[in-house]
Amino acid sequence: MDLALLSELNRERAARRAAVVVTDLATGAARLVRAEAAEADPLAPDVLEALRTGRSGLVADGTVFLTVQVPPVRLVAIGAVHISQALAPLARGLDLDVTVVDPRTAFASPERFPDVPVLAEWPDEALPKLGGLDRYTAVACLTHDPKIDDPALAAALRAECFYVGALGSRRTHAKRVERLTVAGFGPDEIARIRAPIGLDIGAISPAEIAIAVLAEIVSALRQDRRRAG
């Protein structure tokens, strides 16, 4: 890979943008295809499939190799609560980049979260500092406070995050749906929110809920790849 192409690839990586390096095996010539240009590429079906699954490999006829670069998967936990304290080390164990966001400084402290970044700010202020959200991000809203959770949910839906979950009962979620509807979100968008959050394993304790949430995130992350076989 020449230096110019490597520099392009590094710029995409730094910006958390997916890309594919297309290498002609006969000539060694390589080019970069950015995710937003994939549909117009001559190898669009193969490039799009590679981006969807995150898998590098040969195209069907064996003449071209696709090297896929996708951003590291990250988890943004909204709420520096007991569930987040249990969730953060579990998620790090699965190599997820974890950040905790909560404007309540009594909760959002390095002492409570010694191993992950903690932003003691409102989501509207904190999320842009993370470079914004994207489809390689999971957002788990855990505060029960609409003033904190709702802006994060709205941002996650607009960014098409691969996972969006929110803590709360069905009654709580019904009120949340009303607020998001008023805010301009349609039924299909709102239906993407996993609520009540987490797989239904009968979880009670913060640690059990954290396991249920993380299992649901992994399931959402791997869904496309399971379909890809």
For residues 13-40, give the mean pLDDT.
92
**Residue 95 structural domain:** 74-228
**Does residue 228 surpass a pLDDT of 80?**
no
* Domain end marker among 31, 50, 69: 69
Helices (H) and strands (E) in the chain, counts: 8, 10
* 57 and 81 housed in the same domain: no
What is d(CA 229, CA 225) in angstroms, rounded to the nearest whole number?
6
Instruction: Concatenate the DSSP letters of all residues of 43-71 into one string.
Output: THHHHHHHHHHT--EE-TTSSEEEEEE-P
* Number of domains forming the structure of the chain: 2
pLDDT in tens, 140-164: 999 999 999 999 999 999 999 999 9
- What value does the mean pLDDT take over residues 104-119? 95
> What percentage of the chain carries pLDDT values higher than 70?
97
Over residues 93-109, the pLDDT tens digits come to 999 999 999 999 999 99
Indicate whether 225 pLDDT > 70.
no
CA 165, CA 196: separation in Å to the nearest integer? 8
Is there a single domain that holds both residue 57 and residue 88? no
Distance, in Å, from the CA atom of 123 to the CA atom of 153, rounded to the nearest integer, reads 10
Residue 9 sits in the same domain as residue 83:
no
Taking the chain, what is the end-to-end CA distance rounded to the nearest angstrom? Answer: 30
* Same-domain status, 116 and 28: no
Q: Are 209 and 203 in contact (CB under 8 A)?
A: yes
Sign of CA dihedral 196, 200, 203, 204: positive
In the predicted model, is pLDDT for residue 110 greater than 50?
Answer: yes
Cβ 195 vs Cβ 176: under 8 Å: yes
Same domain, 54 and 95: no
* Closest residue by Cα to residue 102 from 44, 65, 63, 152: 152
pTM: 0.84
What pairing do the DSSP bridges indicate for beta strands 30-34 and 19-24? Answer: antiparallel
Sequence-ordered alpha helix ranges (H) in the chain:
3-14, 44-53, 82-93, 123-129, 146-158, 170-182, 187-190, 206-228
Mark whether 14 and 48 lie in a shared domain.
yes
**Domain end marker among 69, 92, 121:** 69
In this model, does residue 224 exceed pLDDT 60?
A: no
* Final residue in a domain of this structure, among 40, 69, 98: 69
Crossing angle of the two packed helices 170-182 and 146-158, in degrees rounded to 10? 60
Residues 79 and 171 in one domain: yes
* CA atoms of 114 and 108, how far apart (whole Å): 11
Task: Determine the Cα–Cα distance for residues 174 and 190; give it in Å rounded to an integer.
Answer: 11
Report the pLDDT value the prediction gives residue 150, as an integer from 0 to 100. Answer: 97
| pLDDT of 194 higher than 70 | yes
For residue 136, which phi and psi values (nearest 5 degrees)? Answer: -105, 20
